[in-house]
Amino acid sequence: MHQVPTYRFAPSPNGYLHLGHALSACLNFDSAQQANGRFLLRIENIDQTRCRPEFEVAIYEDLAWLGLKWEAPVRRQSEQFAAYRAALARLAEMGLVYPSFESRTEIARLVAEQERSGPWPRDPDGAPLYPGRSRHMDAAEQARRIASGAPYALRLDMTAAIARAPASLTWDETGCGPNGETGVLAAEPAVWGDVVLARKDSPTSYHLSVVIDDAAQGATHVVRGQDLFAATSLHRLLQALLGLPAPTYRHHRLILDADGRKLAKSTGATALCALRGRGVSPAAIRRMVGL
């Protein structure tokens, strides 16, 4: 069956869009147009403490100002918790999910203990891998702690997950990773350790929801910043476990500030709305991001 090329832009409404978002959004939109395909929008607002309605409104304004048109309805993650719960339940039925009860402070202490005898592995985002103390807790003890109201995180048992997935897990990269990686790439999800898929008070995580949403929206192409290149290994693993199709990925360079740092939403100077307020045109924005 021929699939219509489908692109998506998936910002989080936890700040104003900046030049880096403009690059992502325009690349997705332009690619969809060139391919006679679809351009979809998704609002990644699972983190209800950081996301604000006014930032979501600003996303629509900024994208419309840039001249982009997207299909309705917009998928909003806050309306999809049932889909994330169902996916998590499937992984749990496969025996790939377990609750861990340590607080962040306790994890930091456990890691510091380990580090007395040598370096402890970090994930690609720089966080120490989970030291795994809750991994083999027996079911009765797990149930007792959960019933007592203890906070917990639901983690993917990475070793078991990799054993369950096809041995050669790859993705098509038409952009490139930070070290120039391109072409058919081997996924390396083990570098993430036992990642958190959900928490007691939050039924999903970025990694789980992004694979569910990309499949639900029929995304055939994922164009996004290189900061998410390493996460693709994990996304491919989750797709394989959940029987979801693999999109083609294109990771693009990041727009850096004058000090060579990735743009942050908190520094307003490169916010699209600020640039617009200073009279910068959409065409000039495109030039600024190298399009």
Q: Which residues of this chain interact with ligand GLU, rule CB under 6 A?
A: 10-12, 44, 210, 224, 228
Of the pair 158, 222, the CB lying nearest ligand GLU is at 222
Of the pair 111, 228, the CB lying nearest ligand GLU is at 228
* Burial group, residue 123, by CB count within 10 angstroms (0-12, 13-18, 19+): middle
Quick one: DSSP state of residue 102?
Answer: -
Of the pair 99, 189, the CB lying nearest ligand GLU is at 189
**CB of residue 44 to ligand GLU, shortest distance in Å:** 4
* Burial group, residue 280, by CB count within 10 angstroms (0-12, 13-18, 19+): middle
Of the pair 10, 240, the CB lying nearest ligand GLU is at 10
Of the pair 55, 98, the CB lying nearest ligand GLU is at 55
**CB of residue 75 to ligand GLU, shortest distance in Å:** 12
- Please give the residue whose beta carbon sits closest to ligand GLU in the complex: 224
**CB of residue 222 to ligand GLU, shortest distance in Å:** 6
**CB of residue 69 to ligand GLU, shortest distance in Å:** 19
Alpha-carbon dihedral angle through residues 234, 114, 96, 247, given to the nearest 10 degrees = 0
Token digits for 121?
A: 């592995």
Give residue 94's Cα distance to chain centre: 23
> How far is the CA of 185 from the CAs of 75, 101, 163, 254, in angstroms?
29, 35, 19, 20
**CB of residue 224 to ligand GLU, shortest distance in Å:** 4
| Residues 276 and 268: beta-carbon distance below 8 Å | no
